[in-house]
Amino acid sequence: MKVSAEDVCIVGIGQSQRFGFDLGKSPMRLQVEAFNAALLDSGLGRGDIDGFATAHGSPRGVDYEEFISAVGLDISYVDQAWSHGRWATGIVAHAALAIMSGMADTVAVCNTTSTGKGYQRYLKALGGSGAKEGLRDFGGGHGEWAVTGVDTPGAATSLVAKRYMDRYGATRDDLARVTVGFRENASRNPMAILGSKPLTMESYYDEPVITDPFRRCDYALANEGSNVLIVTSRERAADLAKPAVTIAGAQSVRANRDNYVLFSRPGLGVGFAPEYPFVPERQRVYDMADVAQSDLDGLYLYDSFSSNLWMVLEQFGFCAEGEAPDWIRENGLSPNSPLPVNTNGGLMAEGHFSGYAHLVEMVRQLRGEAGERQIADAHALQWATPWGDSLMFTA
């Protein structure tokens, strides 16, 4: 049965029992935990799931055919993406499109991650922790290129942050406010890996420098865990116990030479991208969702590095170029801020789940289930990345 765009909803969310650095569990076991939790949350049975989507197959996650066989599903729609972490928007949008087109009625969106120091050490393979992106012909998409010695995403993105600081006068204190703010949000989240490890503006400077200006805490975590969202039609959702959350809008990754260095917004002049005065384009996600930016109740972003927040705020026009540090200083990031950001603690404090844990948090917030980190009267929340892709969820 085909449905319209405004009638696609998230009706179930689930996570593995814990997030951590080495959980001693296989990716399959973690994903089964999260999937069962999502089924319980939604009130659906396994027989109701006829679609499956994931961004990470083996060795980092679980390949679709293994998971479907292990848990006894009968699936007519499958979407398994590339191994990188940048596909949260696309995977969820594809699930919605599958339901809109009639290719599936109910899709389980699953994302599981393991690490080289955790279970993945038993599953070494191409695309695993030993892959060297910087040895590609064109370098890696974060801007790394092994010929120059800039061979990791962190080293490449540190150049983005340094360029921004040199151009606009941002300081290390401005970076620290991002990291400290997300860590404070994580302290309210019992699932957050670093939630019990406080960070202050003073203790930030005790962290070791990895690639200047980034300290260890400016990086996303490398960890293990699983997240699942169940997507279906509003008609199906009407029969379920929990309030549905609408996938109200989406826009895809922007890809061209100006956006090649993925953690730099256009106009900054990093890599071979040109430098120019930056004015953000009209963001169609707001039009699709019929939500004005001023009506947003929270913002969630792909925060693999602390400077990503600067890029997202300016890429999406929350402030003018060079003004992101001032915006953060004036508004704050906590659940009681004018626009809360990453109330779950994000990739840098809750755990690196490529955005899927952020999407689970957004559903919790819109249901009013986020406990002491609850945003008051949350109705419209945005997911956004430095690549320009975005999702809008509404209650």
pLDDT band of 1, cuts 50, 70, 90:
low
275 vs 10, 139, 159, 349, CA distance in Å? 40, 20, 14, 32
- Alpha carbon 261 to its chain centroid, in Å, reads 18
Neighbours of 146 (CB within 10 A): 15
Residue 261 has pLDDT above 60, yes or no: yes
Q: What is the pLDDT of residue 43?
A: 96
* Helix (H) or strand (E) segment spanning residue 380: strand 380-384
- Alpha carbon 21 to its chain centroid, in Å, reads 18
Residue 56 has pLDDT above 90, yes or no: no
pLDDT band of 34, cuts 50, 70, 90:
very high
What pLDDT digit, counting tens, does each position of 198-230 carry? 999 999 999 999 999 999 999 999 999 999 999
Domains and CATH numbers, the chain: 5-127+151-394 (3.40.47.10)
What pLDDT digit, counting tens, does each position of 63-93 carry? 999 999 999 999 999 999 877 778 899 999 9
Q: Looking at residues 251-280, what average pLDDT do you find?
A: 89
Q: What is the pLDDT of residue 124?
A: 63
Q: Looking at residues 301-305, what average pLDDT do you find?
A: 97
The pTM is what? 0.95
Q: Dig out the tokens for 88 from the structure.
A: 């949260």
First-to-final CA distance of the chain = 23
* Helix (H) or strand (E) segment spanning residue 13: strand 8-15
How many whole angstroms separate alpha carbon 34 and alpha carbon 28?
10
How many whole angstroms separate alpha carbon 279 and alpha carbon 316?
9
How many whole angstroms separate alpha carbon 366 and alpha carbon 374?
9
Alpha helices in 46-145 (DSSP H): 64-71, 88-101
Q: What phi and psi, each to the nearest 5 degrees, are found at residue 394? A: -130, 155
pLDDT band of 126, cuts 50, 70, 90:
very low
Q: Dig out the tokens for 52 from the structure.
A: 């499956």
Residue 143 has pLDDT above 90, yes or no: no
How many whole angstroms separate alpha carbon 275 and alpha carbon 204?
31
Kindly report the average pLDDT of the chain as a whole number. Answer: 92
pLDDT band of 155, cuts 50, 70, 90:
confident
Are residues 298 and 245 in contact, defined by beta-carbon separation less than 8 angstroms?
no
Lowest mean pLDDT among 1-15, 173-187, 237-251, 270-284: 1-15
Q: What is the pLDDT of residue 2?
A: 65
